[in-house]
Structures are given as structure tokens and as C-alpha cells.
Structure 1
Amino acid sequence: MKITRLETFLVPPRWLFLRVETDEGVVGWGEPVVEGRAHTVAAAVDELADDLVGAEASRIEDLWQTMTRGGFYRGGPILSSAVAGIDQALWDIKGKALGVPVHDLLGGPVRDRVRMYGWVGGDEPAEVAAGAAERVAAGYTAVKMNAGGRLRSLESVSEIRAVVDRVAAVREVLGPDRDVAVDFHGRVSPALARVLCQELEPLRPLFVEEPVVPELLTELSRICASTTVPIATGERLYSRWDFRTALDSGIAVVQPDLSHAGGISECRRIAALAETYGVALAPHCPLGPIALAACLQVDLASPNALIQETSLGIHYNVGADTLDHLLDPSVFELRDGFVERLTAPGLGIEVDEQAVRTAAATGHRWRSPVWRHADGSLAEW
């Protein structure tokens, strides 16, 4: 079965979908994107297509090695994300051709369902509390929230208290039997991360995510050693080699993004590497339905999978949401905080191709916000 065509679609609000066609009529879907750089990733997919069209679609690992190592210049978010979406689509094709879900090809399921968490928006305690209550009513047993907005290298007592108050408001709604994760989004310095983690300890977050930017990974060991709060990171790491420093630092959770870190092939390897450290897996996924399906396939086959992010209702999703562009969105139906095992062949979803083509006719040019501090200097978003 040969690859005959690769076609990308810019789908609002900020997604990039990929359709891979074969000469036997089997079609696979992937989601290769860097948020804010979708056009650039689409160009990378187009360049990689030169080595893919005419190739045997079932040779996933050989094609992955060719795409990642066949060029003199390697790695980085653009190339890794292009490879990730192609890899997802190739696994989708293989599963469909064999009539089995992808996790069966990864060794079979190690669980029957996957625990999910949703996002809570809002900047004030009352807003995040209301958002948490909505998530609980929707069936979630865990939520994630931002610690705060613009944060300086060292912050005032009032700003530190504001972070704690927001998390406390969510904890009050959730009670002791549900979980809250807190995303620092790389917005804080190592020193402030240590302070905030210690202040949050009494609230028992499930984990603190991305306490510092990836450039400061060597600081993670000091952060991990300074707090009892489990530390998670990985959404801006793109290979198993990138994760080695993070794993050596003592983190509790790895968060590879299946649309950034080389797709199903590489993220399954990252999960296995994390397992050797006793570290849990919680794939990052603020994207669309194809990326979510790919994440769930890895979760279902990974013994150390902890919980799965979903972007359903996330603040980025204006005009379209995670369940759109699917012929049967019920596959992601939440039951007591879990999504049941996907059993359909391939990624386990049916993409509504006509809906995708209609949405792509509008397209998008989504960009990350540019934030500045009160003094005019650039702030981490």
C-alpha cells in the first residue's frame, strides 16, 4: 500500500489537519501543528512529502527515521511537529488496514478507560471557582488552571497571595476527592517557582506544570528538591533526548505533546523512558480531535499513563471545539471522569472530511499573544 498524496487543512480556531491518501483507498488523518506557526508546519509537511509519496505506508518506523535523520539539520518544533502529524496519520492507516485500533498495535490495552481533565478559565477566585463547578457538573474529576498572568522574576506578597487564593477557590469546589493541576506556563523564574510551589503545598495540587521555560531545564532539579508538589513538564520538548535532563531532575510527570514530539512513535518511546524513572505520563493536548485520539491511543497502551488533557471548552476554542469535525463525537463521551477505550480501527475516530474542507476554506492565522510587563519589557506568555 503506497502513499499517494498528503494534504493539509488550516482549521479554525488554530489547528492544522493532515490527510494522507494511499493507492488502496485507505486514508489516515493526523494533526501536525505548532500553535501560531501552522503555515510553517504545513510547508514542512509539503517538503517531507517528497520522501513519502510512493513509499510503503506500513513502514512507519523506517519513514520516521528517514524524516527525522535523513536531513543534515534535525529536530526543533517545526520539523518534529510535521513528523508528528504524519506519524499519526500513518498509524491511522495501518490500524484501518488491519482492522484494529492503534493501541492494539502498540502491545494492546493496559487499561479500559482513561481519566481526563479539563481547563478552568478566569483570573479571579470567583471566576475559577465557577469554572471548576462547571467542569464537575460536566463529569470531570480533575481540572487544570493557570497560576497567573504576567509574573515578574520576583513577585509581591499580594501577587503570590492572589495565585494561592485562585487555587484555593478551585480546591474548595473540588473537595478532597477531585484534583487540580496548576500550570505555571513557563512564566516564572526558578526562584519564584520555588516560592509558589511551597505556598501551594497545603492545597495539594495534582502537579505543577512547566514551572520554568525549557531553556532552564537544568534548574528543575533545584525546584523538585525544594517542594513536595509533583512537578510536570514536557510540552516544549520534542524528543526522548530532550526529556533526559528533565527526567534526571526528579520530575513526577512527563507531558510530551503528540502533535509536537514526533507523534505516536516517539511519544510511546518517551513514555517507556519515563517508566524507567518511575515517572508518570500525562500527554499535553490543547488541540483538536485528531491529536486527542492519538494521545488516547498511547495512554491506552502505556502502563504509566496518569491522566489526559482535553481542550474541550478551552478558552482558545472560539468558533470551533474539540468535538467538531467528527462524524461520531460520542467516542469522547465522559463517564465518571473517564473516556472509555477507543475500539474503532486506526485512531478510533471518523473525521468529517467535508466539515474539515468547509472549515479550511476560512482558515486562520492564529498567533500567540505578546505580553509586556508594566515597565514595557517582554513577558512570558
Structure 2
Amino acid sequence: MQVDTRVDVFESIFLVFLGLGTLVGVVVVAYILYNAYKYRDDGEATTDDSVPTLGELPTGGKGGKKLFLSFGISAIIVISLVIWTYGMLLYVESPEDEFGEEKDPVEVEVTGDSFAWYFEYENGAESIGTMRVPADQPVYIEATSGDVWHTFGVPDLRVKADAIPGEYDETWFMADEANTEHQIRCFELCGNGHSNMLGTVQVMEPEAFEQWLDEQLHVEMEIVNQNEEPVTEGYEVELVHVNNDQYDEDLRYTYTAEDFDNGTITIEDIEQGGEYNVTITFENDQIETIEDSISVTSGPSETFEIEDPNAANASDDGGNTSDDGGTDDGSTDDGSGNESADDGSGNESAAAEVMAE
């Protein structure tokens, strides 16, 4: 089923009013010109009693039938236009019944703040400045503001919504052509940066959009020791959404060292973005448990460093090795098995002098 976009609706209203306005204008102007020609002053006297004289009300006209006919036709046209336009605007306000199941809407929360636009999708993914949407699918937006009054608007798509602090203004749009971009502007004077409060609606193929949306919830995690060497065994990582109790499904994910590849893992099974508490526990009791948080909104990458005593001992052992070819006091071998030393003034020691003699 073909669903009209907001652009289709408003263009239809515009074209209908333009067509009827042009038709009425042509008829009115033509009638004026006709009467101007018919009742022109040609310099000849007339004896027609039906022609009114100056200051006299016209008589006749068949009882005003023309007047009532013109008013009647005008009323029918105007009332029909009002009813039809009202129905079209009702569709713009509540189009859900027309979409059907095949038009699964995308929900985006739009926030205007500090002369920039922030977008949060239904799965928790976020973006700044660029709103990515699928082609030929309705997009529901809830607009709000983090500072002052703004107005979110996309002229090409005939959409506009007030962004007011503490309130949400709901509207929708649908872009029917993929691989196109449309400019976002603020239509409420909001401060010195108002003219630069711009953004972009990027229309993507539905498959490409779903892939991009899923990639925003991928998390790259790396666990290293204090020597920046990957830790490959003996730990477990747990991620729990901070608002886990508010969702129907359990947003808790657990991974062991075996799930990591040389201390690194790319987590791809997270279904809801947002803030997650991260807990890393170790089999070695000497290593402290790590408790941290991570924001899963736009493909984050995190590195966790642990204090591994085994790695520290290995580092200390490597630093205690010495060179067998010399001693710490600066003495050198003279080639005969006897040591000589420098007294610091450039002269050899007494022992070295005896050997030389």
C-alpha cells in the first residue's frame, strides 16, 4: 500500500488551492472585463430603462438569482475545501492507521542543546548532528531542549517541531528516496549560535540503516596488565544495564577469558544501548576486582588495566640481570686476569702501576 508522505500531503493541498484560486481568479477577471466591455460608454444615448443611472440602485436581475447562485457556488467550494483539507491534516496528525504492519516506524528522540542537535534511537544508540533514517519508513520524533527554546525543522520534508525544555513535541515524517540528505535547521531565534545550529538527515537503505544501528551497540574491550601486555586467562567480565529493572528482558551479559582473543573482544549481542556497569573478577585473589561503567551508545572502545603481580615479578627479575664482563665499581680487566681501576683523576691505581713495572 502506498503511503503518502508529509511532502505529498502538503503539496496536494497547495496544488488544489493553487488550481482553484487560479480558476476563480480567471473567472472573476473575465467577468469584470466582460461587463466593462458590455457597459462601456460608446458615446451613443440609450433608452434602455434597465440600465441604472448614477445614484440609483439597480432593478431587475430576475429577483437576485445570479447573486444567490454565485453565493451558493462559492459556499459549496469553500465548505468542500475546508472538509477535504481538514481530512488531509488529520492524516498528518495521526497517520498510524495508514501505515500498516509493513511500515514499522522508527522512533528518535531529538534534543536541541548548545546550538547542536542530539539524536537518541529506540535501542539507545546516539548520534550528534546527523540523523540517520531508513527510506520509505515513517520516523516518529520527540523533540525537546536541554537549554532554551528551539524549533527542529527539515524544510525539504515539511516537518517542524518545537523543542522546549521539559516538554516533548511529537511529530513524524517519511523520506521516500534513499541515499539523499536533507538539512536540519533551527527555526526559533535561540542565541548567538542560532544561524549555525544545523544538522543533516541522512536517508539510507533500510538494510544499511539496520546494520548501522546494530553497529552502534558493538563494544570493543581490551584487558591488559601494567606492562600493557594482554591478559588472556583467569577472569570473567559482566555487563549490566544501569536500568536493567526497567526492561522486560534481562540486560545482563557475561564473558569469560575464553571468549576473548588475546585479551580483546568485540561484543555484538547487546540489544539496548545506554550506561552499563562493568565488573571484572579474577581467579587470582591477589588481583583486585575492577568495577567501572561504560556508555554503549556509539560503538565505544575501552581498555581496562589490571595490576598483575605475576607480571610485576617478571619485570623485576628482568631488571636484576648484570653484565659478567665488569663490576659495579668501574674496574676493568687488563687481559691477564687482574683488575685495574680508575681513581677518578685519569691516573691508574697503585696496583696497576706495580703490574706495569
- So what's the TM-score if we normalise by structure 2? 0.19
User: Higher relative contact order at CA 8 Å, sep ≥6: structure 1 or structure 2?
Assistant: 1
Larger radius of gyration: 2
More helix by share: 1
- So what's the TM-score if we normalise by structure 1? 0.18
More strand by share: 2
